[in-house]
Structure 1
Amino acid sequence: MADGSDRPETDLPRGIGAPATRALVTAGYTRLAQLAGVPAAELAVLHGVGPKALRVLSEALAEQGLSLG
């Protein structure tokens, strides 16, 4: 990429950490809104997505009036 960053184009919160971001992007989730309605248990099985990442994602979704499934 032109800026030298290997961070994919995403609006996922940075607070979830790089491993969780990579896991979600690899699973096809590049936008926070895509996670609305997805069961937390489904995300938790992704390598790198732990309790902290799930909490941060839940909080970010709640700010938009959305939630995990």
Structure 2
Amino acid sequence: MYAFNYDPTEDFLHGVIAIPARRALEKEKINSLEKLSDYSEKEIMQLHGFGKNAMMKLKNYMQENQVSFKEV
């Protein structure tokens, strides 16, 4: 058994979007759907590491969880 500090925020969107996109969100301290909903789609697309594919997957995941981006 391994002993380490488990951080559930590291699993945010694990398996949903690729690591570069997850790191981009982590860098902005976006670690929940609630925090993500405070941003517009355009703001997220401007993050380094985020592309069209990641955005498409993220939008689908958000829709499944009844969460949406901030309206501009």
Structure 2 residue runs of 5 or longer lacking an equivalent are none
Cα drift, residue 42 of structure 1:
0.2
Cα drift, residue 16 of structure 1:
1.3
Range with bigger deviation, 26-35 or 48-57: 26-35
What RMSD in Å do the two structures reach over aligned CA positions? 2.5
The equivalences for 1:33-44 within 5 A come to: 33-44=34-45
How many angstroms apart in 2 are the aligned matches of 1:9 and 1:31?
10
What corresponds to 1:2 in structure 2?
A: 4
Cα drift, residue 66 of structure 1:
1.3
How many angstroms apart in 2 are the aligned matches of 1:68 and 1:13?
19
State percent identity of aligned pairs. Answer: 29
When Rg is computed on C-alpha atoms for both structures, the one with the higher figure is 2
TM-score, normalised to structure 1, is: 0.77
SS at match of 2:58: helix
Structure 1 residue runs of 5 or longer lacking an equivalent are none
TM-score, normalised to structure 2, is: 0.74
